[in-house]
């Protein structure tokens, strides 16, 4: 495995974004110089053309390659006909036609998965077809870091109020079998860096939730993003959060993970800074 640096953003929600954080977020991401920026959905608040154009301008301001997947807010809500018949019209026209992009280099293979369900307002699904694509993408990954990017989480806490993702348990088990290292998600507007609940014989897979990078719709946490440093046998996740006013983003929490005997990942005790 060759060391790689990834920045994980989610739930930017242009249309309900905090303008005072836009330039600080762009500057911080560019200063950290990642090999890839992964955005796990909800670029917009209501899938409107102007909101997608704001999202496109943001993406174009980033110096690193960007992989983006859609979220449930990126298809129409108040236009049911458009939601069913033309859900991706504005996304395709302004952001791009690939809803499940792939990125690979000498150190990592990253696969985007579209979990949006046009027939449901919030809940998503992880399909068997997506698992087949993951199998194909990771077939020749070798020692490279294997990463999935999706909007909807594959595991939630009992306290979470949003509906679980359909097909999540099946997806987690199969992705573990495929040697997946990290799953990047959003949707909950809550930050987490956790290993999936242990199941007999299953390798440890790291699930990282980013909160919301820019939205005004906070759920008791600051706007934030993840910095992931993946090296041979070690992964470090640093949460960057916004301060008051226009203070920008700064590191506030750090988690360390090491490879275990099963070929997966285990959490290491570490100080917050």
Band (pLDDT 50/70/90 cuts) for residue 273 is very low
Residue range 246-268, pLDDT digits in tens: 578 999 999 999 998 877 899 99
Band (pLDDT 50/70/90 cuts) for residue 77 is confident
Q: What is the pTM of this model?
A: 0.93
Which residues have C-beta within 8 Å of that of residue 174, sequence separation ≥ 6? 131, 134, 135
Residue range 156-197, pLDDT digits in tens: 776 666 778 999 999 999 999 999 999 999 999 999 999 986
Residue range 38-48, pLDDT digits in tens: 999 999 999 99
**Given this model, what pLDDT does residue 86 score?**
86
Residue range 209-250, pLDDT digits in tens: 999 999 998 878 999 999 999 998 999 999 999 975 557 899
Asked whether the predicted pLDDT for residue 1 surpasses 70, the reply is no
DSSP readout, 174-218? HHHHTT--EEEE-SSS--EEEEPPP-TTPPP-EEEE---SSBS--
Which H helix or E strand runs over 254?
A: strand 249-259
Look up the CATH number of domain 4-268: 3.60.21.10
- Among 82-86, 114-118, 172-176, whose mean pLDDT is lowest? 82-86
C-alpha dist (Å) from residue 254 to 35, 124, 164, 230, 239: 19, 29, 27, 13, 6
Band (pLDDT 50/70/90 cuts) for residue 198 is low
C-beta neighbour count of 77 within 10 angstroms: 13
Q: CA Rg, the chain, in Å?
A: 17
Of 83, 91, 102, the residue nearest 59 (C-alpha): 91
Q: How do the residues of the chain divide into helix, strand and coil, expressed in percent and rounded to 5?
A: 25, 30, 45
**Given this model, what pLDDT does residue 272 score?**
47
- Does 121 or 70 have the greater pLDDT score? 70
State the average pLDDT for the chain: 92
**Given this model, what pLDDT does residue 158 score?**
66
Cα atoms in the 13 Å half-sphere on the side-chain side of 172? 24
**Given this model, what pLDDT does residue 270 score?**
61
Band (pLDDT 50/70/90 cuts) for residue 269 is confident
**Mean of pLDDT values over 19-25:** 96
Let me know: does 268 contact 254? Beta carbons within 8 Å. Answer: no
Let me know: does 86 contact 75? Beta carbons within 8 Å. Answer: no
Task: Delimit the domains of the chain by residue range.
Answer: 4-268
Query: How is the beta sheet containing 192-195 ordered, strand by strand?
Result: 102-104, 108-113, 145-150, 182-185, 206-209, 192-195
- Does 217 or 106 have the greater pLDDT score? 106
Let me know: does 39 contact 212? Beta carbons within 8 Å. Answer: no
Let me know: does 206 contact 235? Beta carbons within 8 Å. Answer: yes
């Amino acid at each position: 495995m060759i060391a790689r640096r990834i920045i994980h953003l989610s739930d930017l929600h242009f249309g309900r974004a905090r303008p005072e954080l836009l330039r600080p977020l762009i500057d911080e991401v560019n200063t950290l110089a990642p090999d890839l920026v992964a955005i796990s959905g909800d670029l917009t608040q209501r899938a409107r053309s102007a909101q997608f154009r704001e999202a496109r301008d943001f993406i174009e301001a980033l110096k690193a390659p960007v992989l983006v997947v859609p979220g449930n807010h990126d298809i129409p809500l108040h236009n049911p006909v458009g939601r069913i018949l033309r859900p991706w019209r504005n996304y395709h026209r302004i952001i791009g036609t690939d809803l499940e992009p792939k990125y690979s280099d000498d150190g990592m293979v990253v696969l985007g998965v579209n979990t949006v369900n046009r027939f449901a307002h919030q809940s998503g699904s992880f399909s068997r077809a997506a698992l087949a694509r993951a199998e194909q993408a990771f077939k020749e990954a070798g020692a490279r870091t294997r990463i999935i990017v999706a909007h909807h989480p594959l595991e939630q806490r009992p306290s979470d109020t949003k509906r679980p993702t359909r097909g999540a348990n099946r997806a987690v088990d199969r992705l573990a079998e495929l040697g997946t290292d990290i799953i990047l998600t959003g949707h909950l507007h809550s930050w987490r860096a956790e290993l999936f609940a242990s199941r007999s014989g299953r390798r440890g897979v790291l699930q990282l939730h980013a909160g919301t990078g820019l939205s005004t719709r906070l759920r008791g946490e600051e706007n934030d993003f993840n910095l992931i440093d993946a090296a041979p046998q070690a992964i470090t996740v640093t949460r960057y959060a916004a301060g008051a006013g226009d203070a920008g983003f700064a590191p506030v929490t750090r988690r360390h993970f090491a490879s275990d005997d099963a070929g997966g990942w285990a959490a290491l005790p570490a100080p917050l800074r």
